[in-house]
Amino acid sequence: MIKRDNYLKRIIDAKDTEFIKVITGVRRSGKSTLLLMFKDYLLEEKIKEENIIYINFESAKYDDIKNYKDLYKYVEKKIKKDKVYLLLDEVQNVEAFEKAINAFKVDFDIDIYMTGSNAYLLSSELSTLLSGRYIEIKMYPLSFKEYLIFNNYDNNNLLDKFNEYLKYGGLPAITLIKNNNELVLSYLNDIYNTIVKKDIIDRNKIKDTALLENIIKYLANNIGSQISSTKISDYLNSNKIIPNSNHQTIDNYLNMLEKSFIIYKADRSDIKSKAILKTLGKYYIADIGIRNVIIGYRNIDEEQLLKNVVYLELLRRGYKVSIGKISEYEVDFVAENPNNIKYFQVTKSLINEDVKTREIRSLESINDNYEKTILTMDKTINNDFNGIKVLNIIDWLLQDE
C-alpha cells in the first residue's frame, strides 16, 4: 500500500479528539485502504490489536449486521477494556447506523472512524444526532502528482504521462492494470455500473433508469458548461431521446448523482456581491477515467478534461470552488478558503490572440488584489500580463500548496 500522506495526516491529527472522523468520496477512491493504513499506524503506535475494531460492511463476513441493534451488540461484545478505536468501512449499509454511533459515544471510551461512498452517510438525521461532533475528510481520486508516485514515474516526458492520466483517470487501482487497456475499461465500467446501481438506482428505488443514464451522459458530454434541469429536459425532448422528460424529476436525479459523489456541482457566484446565483451551475465528474468510459475518450474534448482536472485539484487543496460572474464576463474558477481567494482561467492554449484577450479580460475585470492565474498547456516561462500569472497546467499540478 502506497501512503496518501495528506489524507493520513488529517486522520492522525484528529486522533483522540472528541470528533467522529467521517471519510467520504466516490467508490474506489481509496477510502478503505486509507482506513487500513490508519489501522497499521495505530498498531505501530503500540495500540493493542484487541482495542482496534475494524469492520468492512461490503464483506460477506458481516452480512448478519443488518441494523443499528446488530451493530451495537457486535461492538459491545468486542470491547474488553481500555480505549477502543472503531473503524467502520461503508457503514451506510447498516440500517439506522447513526443510532449505534451515538450510543457508542455515550456508553464507551471510543474513537470512531467511518467511511462512506455516498452523502447519505451524512444525512440530516446523522447530522442532527452528531451536530458539531464530526469531521468530514473528503477523499478524491489520485492527483496527477500522486499518479506519478503510484506509478513510480520520474519527471521525464511529463506530457506523455499527463495524457495517460487524462485517459485513465486517477482511481488508485488503475495504476496496477493500466498496461492492459481492455482490463482498464472493464474495471472502470464495473465501478460506474456499481455506483449507478447501488448508490443511485437501488438506494432511491429509481424506475426510470433510461432517464438517469441519459442525464449522466449529458453531463459527461458537457463538463464545464452551464447546465440546468430545463436545458437537459429541452435537449432530451427535442432530440426525442426521452420524450416528455420532466425538469423536476431531472432536478431530483441531479441531486442523487451529487450524493453518490460521481459528480460535483460548482455554483455560479457574483464576484462583486459574493452572492450565489441559483441558476446555470456547472458540473464536473469525480474521475475523468469514469467520464471517458461513459462517452468514450476523445482528444477534441481536452479543454473540458483540463477544466475537470483543475476543478478537482482545487477541491483537493481545500478550496471551496465556484464559477465567477463579473459584469458580462465569466471566470472559470473562484477558489476560496478562510484565508485567501484565488481566480483561475483554464484554456488549452493562449497562442490565439482572441483567446488570450478573452481570458485576460475576464480576470482584469476583477477589481481586487487577490491572485489571478491563467492555466494553459503552453510551455510558459513565467509570463505575466499586468499582474496576471500564466502557468503551465502540469507545472501547477506538481507545485506544493
User: What strands, in cross-sheet order, belong to the sheet with 384-385?
Assistant: 276-285, 263-270, 320-326, 329-337, 340-346, 371-376, 388-392, 384-385
Q: Are 262 and 283 in contact (CB under 8 A)?
A: no
Residue appearing with cell numbers 423536476 = 248
Domain 144-397 annotated CATH 1.10.3720.10: no
Burial of 199 (0-12, 13-18, 19+ CB in 10 A): buried
Superfamily of domain 5-138: P-loop containing nucleotide triphosphate hydrolases (3.40.50.300)
Q: Are 370 and 397 in contact (CB under 8 A)?
A: no
Q: Inter-axis angle of helices 158-168 and 288-295, to 10 degrees? A: 60
Q: What nine digits make up the cell of 55? A: 469492520
Q: Which amino acid is at 150?
A: F
Q: Report the distance separating Cα 373 and Cα 387, nearest Å.
A: 9
Q: What nine digits make up the cell of 330? A: 465569466
Domain spans, the chain: 5-138, 144-397
Residue appearing with cell numbers 475528510 = 137
pLDDT string in tens for the chain (401-residue length): 688 999 999 999 999 999 999 999 999 999 999 999 999 999 999 999 999 999 999 999 999 999 999 999 999 999 988 899 999 999 988 998 989 998 999 999 999 999 988 887 777 566 677 767 889 999 999 999 999 999 999 999 999 999 999 999 999 999 999 889 999 999 999 999 999 999 999 989 998 999 999 999 999 999 999 999 999 999 999 988 888 788 899 999 999 999 999 999 999 999 988 888 877 899 999 999 999 999 988 766 899 999 999 999 999 999 999 999 998 899 999 999 999 999 999 999 999 999 999 999 999 999 999 999 999 999 876 678 889 999 999 999 999 87
Where are any strands of DSSP class E within 73-225? 84-89, 110-116, 134-138
